[in-house]
Structure 1
Amino acid sequence: MAMKQASASIMAAALLASVLAGCGSKAGGNEGGEQQGAQTPKPGEPVEIVFYSTNGDPAESFDYRFGNSIRKKFPNYTIKYIQNTKGNSMSELLTAGTKFDIFFISTGNYESVMFDNGLEIDMDELVKKQKVDLSKLEPTVVEGIRQSSGGKLTGIPVHTNNMVLYYNKTLFDKFGVAYPKDGMTWDQALELSKKLTRNEGGTQYVGFTTSPNHIIRMNQFSIPNVDLKAQTPTINANEKWKQFFQTVFVDPYSDAGYKQLLDKTNKVPDINSFLKDQNVGMYAYLSSLVYVLPDELQKLNWDMVSLPTFKEQPGVGSQSYPFYFGITKLSKHPEQAMEVLNYMISDEFQMELSRKGIMPVVKNDAVQNALGQDSPFKDKNFKAVFYNKFAPIPAKAPYDANIVANYSKYADQVIKQKADINTAFRQSEEEALKYIADYKKK
Structure 2
Amino acid sequence: MMKRNKLMMLTLSMMLLIPLLTACGGEAKQNEQERVLRIGVLYGGGDEQYIRQEYTDIFEYMNGNISIEIVPAVDTSEYRYSDSAGPDPTEEMRKQLTGANPVDVVILDRDSFQQFVRDGQFKQLDALIQKDGFDTSDIIPSVMDTIKMMGDGNIYGLTPTFTSNALYYNKTLFKEAGVELPTDNMTWDEAFELARRVANGEGKDRTYGFSFNQYRGGNAFYSVANYAAPLQLRKYDDKAEKMTINTPQWEKLYDTIAKLSQDNIMPGRKDEDNGGSYGEGRYSPLDNDLFLSGKAAMILSYYSYTSDLFDANKNAGKIKNFQMPEWDVVTIPHHPEAPGISSGMRFDSIMAINTQAQNPDDAWKFVQFINGEDWAKIRSRSTYELVTRKSFIKPKEGMNYNIQSFYAMKPAPSNPVEDKLNREYRNLWIIDNSVYELFEKRIEGKLTTADMLKQWETKGNQLLPMIKKNPNGSIYDDEAVQKAVYGY
Could you state the TM-score of these two structures normalised by the residue count of structure 1?
0.63
Q: Of the candidates 286, 293, 297, which is equivalent to residue 302 of structure 2?
A: 286
Give 1:382 deviation, angstroms: 0.4
- Unaligned 5+ segments in structure 2 are 1-29, 81-85, 214-220, 276-285, 317-323, 474-488
Structure 1's 225 and 400: CA in aligned 2 closer, same or farther, altered over 3 A? Answer: farther
Structure 1's 50 and 125: CA in aligned 2 closer, same or farther, altered over 3 A? Answer: closer
- Aligned to 2:270, the other structure's residue is in SS state helix
> Are 1:244 and 2:242 counterparts?
no
Which stretch shifts more, 249-258 or 427-436? 427-436
Q: In the alignment, is the contact (CA less than 8 A) between 1:169 and 1:179 conserved in 2?
A: yes
Q: In the alignment, is the contact (CA less than 8 A) between 1:49 and 1:80 conserved in 2?
A: yes
Give 1:371 deviation, angstroms: 1.8
Paired position in structure 2 for 1:384 = 405
Aligned partners of 2:288 and 2:53: how far apart in 1?
26
Q: In the alignment, is the contact (CA less than 8 A) between 1:177 and 1:195 conserved in 2?
A: yes
Structure 1's 174 and 160: CA in aligned 2 closer, same or farther, altered over 3 A? Answer: same
Paired position in structure 2 for 1:322 = 347
Aligned partners of 1:317 and 1:244: how far apart in 2?
16
Identity of aligned residues (%): 16
Paired position in structure 2 for 1:70 = 59
Paired position in structure 2 for 1:430 = 461
Paired position in structure 2 for 1:372 = 394
Structure 1's 77 and 434: CA in aligned 2 closer, same or farther, altered over 3 A? Answer: farther
Structure 1's 315 and 45: CA in aligned 2 closer, same or farther, altered over 3 A? Answer: same
Q: In the alignment, is the contact (CA less than 8 A) between 2:208 and 2:267 conserved in 1?
A: no
Q: In the alignment, is the contact (CA less than 8 A) between 1:107 and 1:321 conserved in 2?
A: yes
Q: Which amino acid aligns with 1:142?
A: I
* Mapping for residues 317-356 of structure 1, pairs under 5 Å: 317-318=342-343, 320-323=345-348, 324-325=350-351, 333=359, 336-350=362-376, 352-354=378-380, 356=382
Paired position in structure 2 for 1:414 = 439
Q: Which amino acid aligns with 1:433?
A: L
Aligned partners of 1:100 and 1:292: how far apart in 2?
38
Structure 1's 226 and 417: CA in aligned 2 closer, same or farther, altered over 3 A? Answer: closer
Structure 1's 200 and 176: CA in aligned 2 closer, same or farther, altered over 3 A? Answer: farther
Q: In the alignment, is the contact (CA less than 8 A) between 2:353 and 2:364 conserved in 1?
A: yes
Q: Which has the higher contact order (CA 8 A, sep 6+)?
A: 1
> Are 1:262 and 2:270 counterparts?
yes
Aligned partners of 1:127 and 1:230: how far apart in 2?
35
Give 1:354 deviation, angstroms: 4.8
Paired position in structure 2 for 1:162 = 164
Q: Which amino acid aligns with 1:280?
A: A
Paired position in structure 1 for 2:201 = 199
Give 1:121 deviation, angstroms: 7.3
Instruction: After superposition, give the CA deviation of every residue in 1:312-331 in whole Å (9 maximum; x if it has no partner).
Output: 44444336321134567997
- Aligned to 2:468, the other structure's residue is in SS state helix
- Greater C-alpha radius of gyration: 2
Structure 1's 104 and 260: CA in aligned 2 closer, same or farther, altered over 3 A? Answer: closer
Aligned length: 384
* Mapping for residues 89-168 of structure 1, pairs under 5 Å: 104=107, 106-108=109-111, 110=112, 122-125=120-123, 127=125, 130-131=128-129, 138-139=143-144, 141-142=146-147, 156-168=158-170
Structure 1's 127 and 100: CA in aligned 2 closer, same or farther, altered over 3 A? Answer: same
Q: Of the candidates 172, 188, 191, which is equivalent to residue 189 of structure 1?
A: 191
Give 1:284 deviation, angstroms: 1.7
* Mapping for residues 7-86 of structure 1, pairs under 5 Å: 46-50=35-39, 52=41, 54=43, 62=51, 65-67=54-56, 69-71=58-60, 73-79=62-68, 86=77
- Unaligned 5+ segments in structure 1 are 1-40, 362-366
Structure 1's 55 and 277: CA in aligned 2 closer, same or farther, altered over 3 A? Answer: farther
Paired position in structure 2 for 1:14 = none
Give 1:71 deviation, angstroms: 3.8
- Aligned to 1:180, the other structure's residue is in SS state coil
Aligned partners of 2:307 and 2:206: how far apart in 1?
29
Q: In the alignment, is the contact (CA less than 8 A) between 2:199 and 2:207 conserved in 1?
A: yes
Aligned partners of 1:262 and 1:209: how far apart in 2?
15
Q: Which amino acid aligns with 2:180?
A: A
Aligned partners of 2:48 and 2:292: how far apart in 1?
28
Aligned partners of 1:152 and 1:194: how far apart in 2?
45
- Aligned to 1:283, the other structure's residue is in SS state strand
Structure 1's 199 and 355: CA in aligned 2 closer, same or farther, altered over 3 A? Answer: same
* Mapping for residues 219-238 of structure 1, pairs under 5 Å: 219=228, 221-223=230-232, 225=234, 229-231=238-240, 236=245
Q: In the alignment, is the contact (CA less than 8 A) between 1:165 and 1:304 conserved in 2?
A: yes
Q: What CA RMSD, in Å, does the superposition of the two structures yield over aligned residues? A: 5.3
Give 1:176 deviation, angstroms: 4.5
Q: In the alignment, is the contact (CA less than 8 A) between 1:43 and 1:335 conserved in 2?
A: no
Which stretch shifts more, 151-160 or 424-433? 151-160
Q: In the alignment, is the contact (CA less than 8 A) between 2:208 and 2:264 conserved in 1?
A: no
Q: In the alignment, is the contact (CA less than 8 A) between 2:33 and 2:65 conserved in 1?
A: yes
- Aligned to 1:380, the other structure's residue is in SS state coil
Which stretch shifts more, 208-217 or 176-185? 208-217
Could you state the TM-score of these two structures normalised by the residue count of structure 2?
0.58
Give 1:72 deviation, angstroms: 5.2
Instruction: After superposition, give the CA deviation of every residue in 1:222-249 in whole Å (9 maximum; x if it has no partner).
Output: 40557785445775166543333334x2
Give 1:165 deviation, angstroms: 0.9
Give 1:164 deviation, angstroms: 1.4
